[in-house]
Amino acid sequence: MGCGLVENTMNDTLNKLAEVLEARKSAPAESSYVAGLYAGGLDAVLAKVDEEAAEVIAAAREDDAKALVKAGIDILGHSVRDQPVDDELIALMKKNGTHYAATITREQSTYIYHSSPEWLDDPFFRKSVSDDVVEGVRTQLKQAQSAPAVIEQGQKDFEMAMKNAKTLVDAGVNVAFGTDTGPPGRFAGFFEHWEAELMAEAGISPMRIIQAWSRDSSEALGIEKDFGTLERGKVADLVVLDANPLDEIRNTRKIHAVYMSGKKFE
């Protein structure tokens, strides 16, 4: 019965999300949704924005980011990590309502495994990761990230990502939430908690972090009518905690219950 409840509950939420996105497809072009990675570089992304007049997500260096925001990009995914964001980019993003997903975990995951981080033995992390996967991280991924040049560049990118995330939040830019999980060494589930902890380490308040992963991410995807905040008429997806995350963001790990579409996840 537990499995059936999980399946039905997940399907309820996924079906609702599918309905929302399907409705956006039939809406005017400027409110449709397109997400993708364009191998053709900046010119290809700009062409896509022009062609679709749609919501497009792209990653960029600062100079590219300015061009993309000017062209009407909706979401910058990954950190601007080559240099500090400047007043021009901040003003452009605020004027155009561009969202920014820092994916700070992505930056740290490019080099941190050379030293086998302590959390590889954290019971909270190990709940959902097999021993074989962890062993692969400790050996193959460690070896791949052990070159001094890889470590040096990774550390620089990470430090700049942290600084720019804080700067953009303080400036009032729409900062959403992302982790870039999927590739080896980037773990779905745990990385969401780690991203929140790194945002806090960067100096961002717990309330602003919670808003980023819920309200602002839903607004970035254009699904805020049904998701992102607890309001009458919206999908009742929520997590009940045993401790207040406003006191300490790591309290998001103290999960008491999870509800999807108003049904308890068992």
Environment class of 157 (CB within 10 Å of its CB; exposed 0-12, middle 13-18, buried 19+): buried
Task: Quote the pLDDT of residue 38.
Answer: 37
Q: What is the mean pLDDT of residues 230-249?
A: 94
Task: Quote the pLDDT of residue 52.
Answer: 46
pLDDT tens digit string along 23-46? 544 444 333 333 333 334 545 545
pLDDT tens digit string along 126-174? 999 999 999 999 999 999 999 999 999 999 999 999 999 999 999 999 9
Please spell the DSSP secondary structure of 179-194, one letter per residue: ---SSTT--TTHHHHH
What three-state secondary structure class fits 57? strand
User: Above 90 in pLDDT, residue 104?
Assistant: yes
Question: What is the rounded CA–CA span in Å between residue 61 and residue 178?
Answer: 17
The answer to whether residues 234 and 174 touch, using CB atoms and an 8 Å cutoff, is: no
Task: Quote the pLDDT of residue 139.
Answer: 95
Segments making up each domain of the chain, as ranges: 1-31+234-266, 34-221
Q: The tokens of 213 are what? A: 């992963």
pLDDT tens digit string along 118-127? 999 999 999 9
Q: The tokens of 258 are what? A: 């999870």
**What is the homologous superfamily of the domain 34-221 according to CATH?**
Metal-dependent hydrolases (3.20.20.140)
Does the model's pTM come out above 0.85? no
258 strand-pairing partners = 239
b/e map of 195-220 (b: 16 or more CB within 10 Å)? bbbbbbebebebeebbbbbbbbbbbb
